[in-house]
């Protein structure tokens, strides 16, 4: 099972894993014994898009590995649903604000996923053009 990956796609995936992992770890909201709760609230602006982008990256890698379309859809839907539910429960706001903030973070991360898929398709197209 050999797949053609360009250097750009591999570098994009590796760099994204590292950077998004660090950002999610650094900006994870911690409301316990916090002297600056407003700063924690502002950290959500960085945390939520990074968190959902990391989830989309996991979905993308899963899609590269698996062949069955139904399995891809089920795993992708389950991962994104679990990520959305987790993002709602880690915040200490009213439920409507939690849903709006998580939805905005999710929408911003869709741009990241679209860019990742575009890079993958471009690398796949270039590889197939070089093989002919």
pLDDT, tens digit, 9 for 90 and up, residues 28-75: 887 777 777 677 778 888 899 999 999 999 999 999 999 899 999 999
| Domain total of the chain | 1
Instruction: Indicate whether 83 belongs to any domain.
Output: yes
Please state, in angstroms and rounded to a whole number, the distance separating the CA atoms of residues 91 and 41: 9
Instruction: Indicate whether 121 belongs to any domain.
Output: yes
Domain housing 69: 7-29+39-127
Q: Confirm whether pTM is higher than 0.75.
A: yes
Q: What is the pLDDT of residues 82-115, one digit of tens each?
A: 999 998 888 877 889 889 989 999 999 999 999 9
Instruction: Indicate whether 122 belongs to any domain.
Output: yes
């Amino acid at each position: 099972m050999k797949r053609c990956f360009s250097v750009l796609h591999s570098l994009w995936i590796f760099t994204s894993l590292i950077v998004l992992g660090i950002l999610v770890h650094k900006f994870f909201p911690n409301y316990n014994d916090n002297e600056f709760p407003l700063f924690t609230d502002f950290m959500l602006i960085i945390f939520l898009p990074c968190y959902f982008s990391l989830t989309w990256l996991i979905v993308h890698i899963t899609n590269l590995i698996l062949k069955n379309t139904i399995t891809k859809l089920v795993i992708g839907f389950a991962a994104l649903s679990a990520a959305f539910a987790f993002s709602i429960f880690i915040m200490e706001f009213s439920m409507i604000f939690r849903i709006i903030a998580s939805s905005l973070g999710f929408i911003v991360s869709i741009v990241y996923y679209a860019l990742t898929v575009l890079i993958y398709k471009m690398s796949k197209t270039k590889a197939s053009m070089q093989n002919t």
